A and B are shown apart, each in its own frame.
Chain A
């Protein structure tokens, strides 16, 4: 192998490595500033509301559009989750040990229609 060939091969490997490394980082990383990617939405999250001792825990949560809320009934009696103001949506009867999921489109106050004093809310941002 000639000296010229070795030089060219080494240069290509070095250049390739630089391109690869550049693709993995952004200029802002160098200054410890978070990258600005307005078009990138965060991955949807799952929020869990435990139903325990006849309470929604946590009772009030904030989620983002596209997130999922899951209610888990840990009590020994059945509950439901019902939108409070207009009764616009409701889970089916949630037996002990069962769970129910919702991807909310808008903020809401909710309650258990079986035990009307059990209340909760979520805010969708």
Chain B
């Protein structure tokens, strides 16, 4: 009887999990991230967008795309510099985790996809990805990283990063409209 109860409870719990909507964009578990893990996610998320921008600067000749890509490279590098200075100050070492690994792996696939395109198809694919990537990162920073961060300086930095990401999204959406006209 006891064995049956445990089995039933496990099936029930799995059933609930299967129907629960995911509230974490990149996270595969509901485990709270530690500050070193959050620092790692923040750095990887910014590095990814610099990687996309590097491809855009090589492949595109469109003035708007080149200018946007340069802004992404410069701004995300500024955020990485701030994050690096902060972890140094706090004596924290960014720690790889499921979220940062997933971010890195997804970015690898995106880079392959972007590299396979050229001309207008590339410009459209790049800006479409910038819109969806920034939406996902905004969700992650706002709903996971900021709530999970325990160090005040780290939380403050993430709160400063959020409006930058939102401005990038707005800018990307403005260009996306141009390319879809």
Q: Which residues of A contact B (CB under 8 A)?
A: 53-55, 75-78, 96, 114-118
Contact = CB atoms under 8 A, between A and B. Distances in A.
Contact of B171 (A53, A55, A75, A116): A116
Given A53-B163, A54-B164, A54-B166, A77 B171 contact: no
Given A76-B78, A76-B160, 5 more contacts: A54-B166, A78-B74, A78-B78, A115-B71, A118-B167
B74 A117 contact: no
Interface of B: 71, 74-75, 78-79, 82, 157, 160-161, 163-164, 166-168, 170-171, 174
B170 A77 contact: no
Contact of A77 (B74, B157, B166, B174): B74
Contacts of A78: 74, 78
A77 B78 CA distance: 6
A82 to B, nearest CB: 13
Nearest to B172: A117
A38 B121 CA distance: 64
Nearest to A52: B163
Contacts of A77: 74-75, 78-79, 164
Contacts of A96: 78
A117 B167 CA distance: 7
B167 A115 contact: yes
Contact of B160 (A55, A75, A114, A116): A75
Contacts of B75: 77
Given A116-B171, A116-B174, A117-B174, A76 B74 contact: no
B78 A117 contact: no
A93 B132 CA distance: 29
Contacts of B174: 116-117
B170 A117 contact: yes
